[in-house]
Amino acid sequence: MQDVIIIGGGPGGIAAAVRAAQLGAAVTIIEEAELGGVCLNRGCVPTKALLASAALLARVRRAGEYGITVGEPSFSLRAAMARKDSMIAELRAGTESLLASYGVKVVRGTAGLVGPRQVEVGGEIIEGRAVIVATGSTPAKPVVDGIDSKGVITTDEALALEEVPARLLILGGGPIGVEFAAMFHGFGSRVTLVEPGPQILPGEDHEVGQRVRQSLRDRGIDVLIKTAPTSIRQQEGEELVVSLAGRSGEVSADKVLTTGRAPCLVDLGLTKVGVRLAGGAIVVDDGMRTNVPGLFAIGDATGGQMLSHLASVQGLVAAENAMGRARRMDYRAVPRCLHTDPEVGCVGLTEAQAEEQGYQFKTSTIPFTLSARATTLGDLEGAVKIVAEARYGKILGVHIVGPQATELIGEAALAIQLEATAEDLAYAIRAHPTLAESQVEAARDILGQAIFLPKW
Amino acid sequence: MATKVVMPKLGMAMTDGVVVKWLKADGDQVEKGEHIAVVMSKKITYEVEAPAPGLMRYAAHLKEPKPVGEAIAFIAEPGEAVPGLAELAPVVAAKAVAPQLLEAQPPEAAPFIPATPAARRLAKEHGIDISQVKGTGPEGRIVEEDVARFIQERERAPREILISPMARKLAQEHGLDITQITGSGPGGRIVEEDVRKLIEAKKEVPPVMAPPPRVVPFIGMRQAIAERMMESLRTMAQVTVTTEADVTETVRLREELKEEFDLTYTDIVVKTVAIALKKHPLLNATLVGEEIHLLEEANIGVAVALEEGLIVPVVRGADKKGLSEIARETKRLAQGARENTLTVDEVTGGTFTVTNVGMYEMDTFTPIINPPEAAILGVGRIVEKPAVKKGQIVVCSIMHLSLTFDHRIVDGAPAADFLRTVKHTLEKPYRLLG
Ligand SMILES: Cc1cc2nc3c(=O)[nH]c(=O)nc-3n(C[C@H](O)[C@H](O)[C@H](O)COP(=O)(O)OP(=O)(O)OC[C@H]3O[C@@H](n4cnc5c(N)ncnc54)[C@H](O)[C@@H]3O)c2cc1C
C-alpha cells in the first residue's frame, strides 16, 4: 500500500512526488518513457538549449557592433543537437538521483487506473491512498488534408532534425510556434508562421502580440495571421505545398511543423473510474481534485495553460491535499514566457482581460529605448507595459517584451501575488543601470510620475 | 484484546473530564477492581476502578480533557503489546485547557481600571484599550502621560499584521480595522479577498443606523462611584438576604413623633441598625489583612442620591444618639450633601450603611457594600397589606429589608440573626425610645 501513486514523471509528477515524500508519504511514480516528461525531453529544456545556440549565433553576427571582428560563423545543427542532448541527459540523471534521495519508488511502464485508487502497471496492481494523474500532453495535429504527409512534423521530430530545413512552415502562432520560428530562422531556415487568429501569441496582450510580430517580421520571418491551411500536398522531391484559407497562391516548404497539443489520457481508464472530462482534459477543482475522491490530476493533463512551472505548482498543491493538507491554487500570478530574442515575459491580466472583468484600469508603457541598460546592451527592442486597477492602483498585469524579460517578469509575478499596488512598485529603488528600472518607471507612469518620459 | 478504561459519565451534563491523578504507574500490573485513576468532571471527582486484571498503559495525559467514553487507559493481557502514551499523538492543548476545566472559574469580570479622565479621553481618541496601559499614578491609576507613552511605544513597535498593500488600501477606504481581519494568505497574511469578504458581509447586514448617543462625561463622582462599586464587588463575597417587617407600630411611632420633630423612616432604621450592631458585632466589622476588626463605634452611613450620583454621609456613634438627634443630623448631612458643603470627616469613617429606596416604590434589591464595611441594609417601601393575626385578617404596614453582607467576614446564620433583630425592633419600636 502506497500513500501516493503518481502516473507520469514530468515536471508535475516529480514536484508532487518530492512534496508528498517531504510530508512523509510512501510514493511511487510511474513513467512509461523518460523522467522529466515533455518539459525536459521534448519541450522546455531542448528548445531553450537550441534557442541559446540561435541567440548566440545572432549575437556573434552582431559582434562588429561591439567592436569585435569575427569571421562569418558557421553553424552545425548536429552539434547544437548534441549539446542539447547532453544537457537533457545530465538533467535527467539529476532528476533520478533527486527522486532516489527522497526514497521515491520509480516504476517503469505504462499505467492505467483499474479503480479510483488502484493502478495497474506491467500486469501488477498497486494500491494507494491517493492517485495523482500527471500524464501531460502529446502533439496533436490539426485535421487538414494531407496532414499525414511525410515532412509534416511535430515538435518532437523538429527537436531531432539532423538538417536545417531550407523552408519551414509553422502552423500555430502560439508560444511554441513563435519559439520554433525564432529558432529555425536563427539556424538559417526561411520561416513562415501561420496563425488562424487575429494576433500571434493569442491570449496575450495585444501590444505584446504586435511587438513580437513586428520583431519577427523585422528579422525576415513571414507572419500570416487569420489564416489556416486548407490542404497540404506532397510534391515529388519531398517538397510540401500548402494552400491557405482566404489566400491566393500557395506556400511551398520543405517541412511543415505542427505545434498543437492535447492532454495525454488514452487508455488511462479514466472513464472506467468515472472521472469527469471536459474538452479532452481532466476537470479539477482548485485543490487539483477530480470528481473521484482520492484521485487528483495536474499539469497538461488538465488542459488550460500548458506550462511546466504551473504543472509543478499544481503538483505541490495536489501532494499537500493528498496528504491531508488544504492548499489552493492561485492562478493570478503564473508567468508566461518566450525565450526568443527579444524575450517575452507576461503575468496577470492583459488589457482585454481587465476590460472583460469589468475593471476600471490604467495602463502605462515604457519602451526600452529609454533604458540606459538596454542601450549599453545594445538591445533596445521592446517595452514594459503595466495594467493597473485605477482606484487603488493594484497591479493587474505586467507585459514585457525585451532583453531578459523572462527574468524581469519574476518581480512582477511577486508583485501580483502579494497584491502590490503601483505605488509599491513606483516607490521601489532599483540599481542603475539595470533593466529592472524600466518596470519601476512604468509603475511611476501609472501614477503620472514617470521621470524619463519627456513631458509632451 | 486489551480492555479499554473509559472516561466515565459522572453526571447527566458531563461531556468530558480529565485524569487528575494516576493511582497506578504506567505499565503497572493491576488487579480487577483496584483503583487506578482519579478523574474529575467540572463538578466532582471519582476514582476509576480497573475493569480487568492486567498491565495498565496510560492513554491520556494528566489534565488532558477526554470526552466521556473515550479511553483513558488500556489494560493489556499478558504478552499483549499496547502502545504507550509516547506513541500516541501529543496533546498540545492539554495544558491550556485543563486548569480552566478543573477549577471551573467564572470568567473574570472586566476589572474597573482606575484612570484619569484625561487619560481616558486620550486613550479613546487613539482607540486604545485602557486596560493595556500601565498606570504610574497613585495606586496605579493611569494618568495621561501613561497613555501618551503607550501610544509612542505602540508606534515604535513593529507592525505585526501581515497584510497585502492592496488589502490595506481597501480596508482603509472602507474604514475597516485591520487588526480585526483574519488573513487567509500564507502565514495569516490578509489578502484582498479577505477584506472583500468582510465588506460583502457588512453589506449583507445593513447596520441599524443608531443615532449617535448623547455623551455624558464619565468623570468625577460618577467615576469615583464606579471605582468603589467595582472594587466592592471584586473584593468581597457578597450575599443578600431579604425579609419583611411588619412596621405598623413604627408607622404609628413616627406619626406620633413627627408632631415633635421631623423624623424619617430612614432615621428610625439608622437607630435600629446601630443598636442591632451592638448585639451583632460581626456586622460592624472590617477585614484587615488576616484579621477581622470588630469596630467599637456604630457609624452609620446614609446614602443620599444626588443628580451627579450617590453620596454617603455618616452619622457617627448612632447607637448612642437619640432619635431626635439622629433626625437632626441626617437632615443636616443631606442638606450638606446637596449643597456640596460636607467635610471629609462627614463622609468617611462609616462602619455600616443604610440605603433607602422606599421613596422610589422599590421593595427588595441587592445593595452593594460600601467598602471596607462588612454589610449594608437596603430599605424598601412601606406598603399596607392584609395579614392574618390571631386568626383575624388585619391590615399591616410591611417594609422590605435587604441585607447584603460580606460572607468572608460573617456567615449566613449570624447575618440573618442580625436582620431578624432589626426586623423585631422595627416591629416593636418603642424600645428605641428607651
Ligand atoms: C516544444 C515545447 C516547448 C515548451 N516550452 C516550455 C517552456 O519553455 N516553458 C514552460 O513552462 N513550458 C513549456 N512547454 C510545456 C511543458 O513542457 C509542459 O507544460 C509540461 O511538460 C507539462 O508537465 P506535466 O508534468 O503535466 O506533463 P509532461 O511533461 O507531459 O509529462 C507527462 C509524463 O507522463 C508520462 N506518461 C503519460 N501517460 C502515461 C501512462 N499512462 N503511464 C505512465 N507514464 C505516462 C509521459 O511519458 C511523460 O513523461 C513546452 C512544451 C513543448 C511541447
Q: Give the integer Cα–Cα distance in Å for B39 and B60.
A: 11
* DSSP summary character for residue B110: P
Q: Which amino acid is at A172?
A: G
Measured CA to CA, the distance from residue B369 to residue B350 in angstroms comes to 11
- In a shared domain, residues A245 and A392: no
Most ligand 1 atoms within 8 A of CB, residue of A42, A308, A329, A343 to mutate: A308
Q: Compute and round to an integer the Cα radius of gyration of chain A.
A: 23
End of a domain among A259, A281, A305?
A259
Of A393, A419, A424, the CB nearest to B167: A419
**pLDDT, averaged across chain A:** 96
Spatial strand order in the sheet of B352-356? B238-246, B392-406, B375-389, B352-356, B300-302, B314-315
Residues in chain B: 434
Higher pLDDT, B71 or A66: A66
Count of domains in chain A? 3
Percent of chain A with pLDDT over 90: 95
CA angle, corner B418, sides to B415 and B423, nearest 5?
125
Is the residue at A438 inside a domain? yes
pLDDT at B70: 87
Give the CA dihedral B166, B171, B172, B174, nearest 10 degrees: 130
A399 assigned to active site: no
Chain A residues inside the 8 Å CB shell of B166: 392, 394, 419-421
Interchain contact B166–A (C-beta under 8 A): yes
pLDDT confidence tier of residue B43, bands split at 50, 70 and 90: low
What percentage of chain B carries pLDDT values higher than 70? 89
Residue with the larger pLDDT of the pair A383 and B26: A383
Q: What is the arrangement of strands in the sheet containing A167-171, beginning at the earlier edge strand? A: A152-153, A255-258, A167-171, A190-195, A222-225
Compute φ and ψ for A386, nearest 5 degrees: -120, 135
* Same-domain check for residues A255 and A368: no
| Shortest alpha-carbon distance between residue B202 and chain A (Å) | 21
DSSP codes of every residue in A158-225: HTT-SS--SEEEEE--SHHHHHHHHHHHHHT-EEEEEESSSSSSTTS-HHHHHHHHHHHHHHT-EEEE
d(CA A387, CA A365): 9
- H/E stretch holding B6: strand B3-6
Mutate to test the interface with B, among A419, A421, A424 (most CBs of B within 10 A): A419
Written as nine digits, the cell of A63 is 559582434
Q: Say what the pLDDT of residue B116 is.
A: 85
**What CATH number should be reported for the domain holding residue A380?**
3.30.390.30
Task: Give the integer Cα–Cα distance in Å for B193 and A348.
Answer: 17
Verify whether the Cβ–Cβ distance B166 to A394 is below 8 Å.
yes
The answer on A442 and A345 residing in a single domain is yes
Are residues A394 and B192, on separate chains, in Cβ contact within 8 Å?
yes
> Distance, CA A303 to ligand 1 centroid (Å)?
11
Residue with cell 520509480: A106
- Segment B258-283 shows an average pLDDT of 93
Which are the contacts of B392, defined by CB distance < 8 A and separation ≥ 6?
none
Q: What pLDDT, on a 0 to 100 scale, did the predictor assign at position B325? A: 93
The helix (run of H) or strand (run of E) holding residue B86 is: none
Q: Give the pTM.
A: 0.63
Segment holding B66, helix H or strand E: strand B66-67
First and final C-alpha spacing in chain B = 86
Owning domain of residue A77: 2-139+263-322
Q: Which carries the bigger pLDDT value, residue B417 or residue B22? A: B417
- Best mutation target among B169, B190, B194 (most A Cβ atoms within 10 Å) is B169
Q: What is the mean pLDDT of residues A154-180?
A: 97
Tell me the mean pLDDT in the region B218-245: 88
Residue B270 DSSP SS3: helix
A392, A395, A396, A417: best mutation site toward chain B, by most B Cβ within 10 Å? A392
DSSP for A360-375, written as a single string: -EEEEEEEGGG-HHHH
> Do A302 and A163 share a structural domain?
no
Q: Is B394 on the interface with A (CB under 8 A)?
A: no
Terminal CA-CA length for chain A: 71
How many angstroms separate the CA atoms of A108 and B416, rounded?
91
**Helix %, strand %, coil % for chain A, to 5?**
35, 25, 40
What stretches of A116-174 adopt beta strand conformation (E)?
Answer: 118-121, 124-133, 137-139, 152-153, 167-171
Q: Does a cis peptide bond (omega within 30 degrees of 0) precede residue B78?
A: no
Q: How far apart are CA A446 and CA A397, in angstroms?
A: 12
Does A236 have pLDDT greater than 90? Answer: no
DSSP for B199-223, written as a single string: HHHHHHSPPP-PPPPPP----HHHH
Q: With residue B54 as reference, give the H or E element that holds it.
A: strand B54-58
Spacing, Cα A45 to ligand 1 middle (Å): 11
Local structure of residue A421 (DSSP, 8 states): B
**CATH code for the domain of A159:** 3.50.50.60
The CB-side HSE value for B145 (13 A sphere, CA atoms) comes to 5
Q: Specify if A454 maps to a domain.
A: no
Helix (H, G, I), strand (E, B) or coil at B312: coil
How is residue B51 written as a grid cell? Answer: 475493569
* Cβ-defined contact of B167 to A392 (cutoff 8 Å): no
* Cβ atoms within 10 Å of A223's Cβ, excluding its own: 21
* A285-294 mean pLDDT: 96
Domains and CATH numbers, chain B: 3-112 (2.40.50.100), 165-204 (4.10.320.10), 220-433 (3.30.559.10)
The DSSP bridge partners found for residue B240 are B404
Residue A392 is assigned to a structural domain of this protein? yes
Indicate whether A318 and A344 sit together in one domain.
Answer: no
Residues A439 and A368 in one domain: yes
B191 and A392 within 8 Å at the Cβ level: the answer is no
Nearest 10 degrees: CA dihedral of B187, B188, B191, B196? 160
What does pLDDT average to over chain B?
84
Alpha helices by DSSP H, listed for A288-386, are 308-322, 351-356, 372-377
Which among B26, B293, B407, B424 is annotated as catalytic? B407
Cα–Cα distance, A335 to A416 (Å, whole number)? 10
Same domain, A111 and A215: no
Cell numbers for A316: 505541490
Q: Is there a cis peptide before residue A433, judged by omega within 30 degrees of 0?
A: yes
Q: Same domain for A361 and A424? A: yes
pLDDT recorded at residue B84 = 63
Q: Is B191 in contact with A420 (Cβ distance < 8 A)?
A: no
Is there a domain that residue A331 lies in?
Answer: no
Tell me phi and psi for residue B319, to 5 degrees.
-65, -25
Q: Domain ends where: A225, A259, A293?
A: A259
Q: Does B347 touch chain A (CB under 8 A)?
A: no
Contact A329, A287 (CB under 8 A): yes
Mutation for testing the A interface, residue in B163, B164, B166, B181 having most A CBs under 10 Å: B166
How much is the pLDDT for B83?
65
Whether residue A362 is found in the same domain as residue A430: yes
Residues of A contacting chain B (CB within 8 angstroms): 392-394, 418-421, 423-424
| Packing angle, helices B144-156 and B117-125, rounded to 10 | 30
Q: What are the helix (H) ranges across B81-212? A: 94-103, 117-125, 144-156, 165-173, 192-204
Q: What is the pLDDT, as a whole number, of residue B98?
A: 38
Name B267's Cβ contacts closer than 8 Å, sequence gap at least 6.
Answer: B323, B326, B327, B330
CA distance A423 to chain B (A): 9
**C-alpha distance from B161 to closest chain A C-alpha (Å):** 14
Separation of CA A11 and ligand 1 centre (Å): 7
Helix (H, G, I), strand (E, B) or coil at B240: strand
What number does the ligand 1 atom closest to the CA of A48 have? 8
Alpha carbon of B78 to those of B30, B31, B37, B253, B298: distances in Å? 12, 13, 21, 88, 76
- d(CA B166, CA B176) in angstroms, rounded, equals 13
Alpha-carbon distance of B129 to B123, in angstroms, equals 7
Residue A327 lies in a domain: no
Task: For residue range A134-156, list pLDDT tens digits in order.
Answer: 999 999 999 999 999 999 999 99
Which of A277, A293, A322 delimits the end of a domain?
A: A322
Q: What percent of chain A has pLDDT over 70?
A: 100
Average pLDDT estimate for A263-279: 95
Alpha carbon distance B359, B355 (integer Å): 11
Give residue B157's pLDDT.
60
Instruction: For residue A261, give the ligand 1 atom closest to its CA.
Output: 53
* pLDDT at residue A377 greater than cutoff 80: yes
The grid coordinates listed for A77 are 545543427
Q: What is the pLDDT of residue B242?
A: 95
Structure confidence at residue B90 (pLDDT): 42
DSSP assigned state of A254: S
Rounded Cα distance, A331 and A328, in Å: 10
Query: Per-residue pLDDT averaged across B260-265, rounded?
Result: 91
From residue A19, give the alpha-carbon distance in Å to each of A324, A400, B290. 13, 32, 65
Q: Which residue does chain A place closest to B162, by CA atoms?
A: A418
Q: Is the model's pLDDT at B96 over the cut of 60?
A: no
Chain A contacts of B167, Cβ < 8 Å?
419
Statement to judge: residues A186 and A309 lie in one domain = no
Instruction: Record the cell numbers describing residue A96, joined without a space.
Output: 533520478
pLDDT in tens, A18-51: 999 999 999 999 999 999 999 999 999 999 999 9
Residues A275 and A127 in one domain: yes
Do A423 and B192 lie within an 8 Å CB cutoff? no
pLDDT beyond 50 at B91: no
CA A397 – ligand 1 centroid, Å: 26
Cβ burial, residue B105 (10 Å; 0-12/13-18/19+): exposed
Residue of chain A minimizing CA distance to B192: A419
Residue A452 within any structural domain of the chain = no
In a domain, A353, yes or no: yes
**Minimal CA–CA distance to A382: which of A157, A136, A215, A132?**
A215
Confirm whether A384 is domain-assigned: yes
Predicted confidence at residue B119, as pLDDT, reads 87
Does the beta carbon of B186 lie under 8 angstroms from any beta carbon of chain A? no
Q: List, chain by chain if needed, residues with CB within 6 Å of any ligand 1 atom.
A: A 7-13, 30-33, 37-39, 42-44, 47, 110-111, 134-137, 155, 176, 264, 268, 299-301, 306-309, 311
Q: Which of A39, A47, A347 to mutate to test the pocket of ligand 1 (most atoms within 8 A of CB)?
A: A39
Average pLDDT of the residues in B66-86: 77
Confidence of residue B332 (pLDDT cuts 50, 70, 90): very high
Of B126, B262, B345, B411, the catalytic one is B411
Residues A337-349 have a mean pLDDT of 97
Tens digit of each residue's pLDDT (9 = 90 or more) over B202-216: 887 665 667 778 888
Q: Do B170 and A424 touch (CB under 8 A)?
A: no
Do the beta carbons of residue B133 and residue B100 sit within 8 Å?
Answer: no
Question: Higher confidence at residue A413 or residue B337?
Answer: A413
Mutate-to-test residue for ligand 1 from A7, A38, A267, A305, highest number of ligand atoms within 8 A of CB:
A38
Paired residues of A140 in beta bridges: none
When pLDDT is cut at 50, 70 and 90, the band that residue A175 belongs to is very high
CA distance A185 to chain B (A): 44
Identify whether residues A36 and A74 lie together within a single domain.
yes
CA–centroid distance, residue A209 to ligand 1 (Å): 25
**Measured between CB atoms, does B165 come within 8 Å of chain A?**
yes
Q: Residue B371 contacts by C-beta under 8 Å, 6 or more apart in sequence?
A: B228, B231, B232, B235, B236
Whole-number pLDDT of residue B102: 38
Q: In whole angstroms, what is the distance from residue A234 CA to residue A257 CA?
A: 14
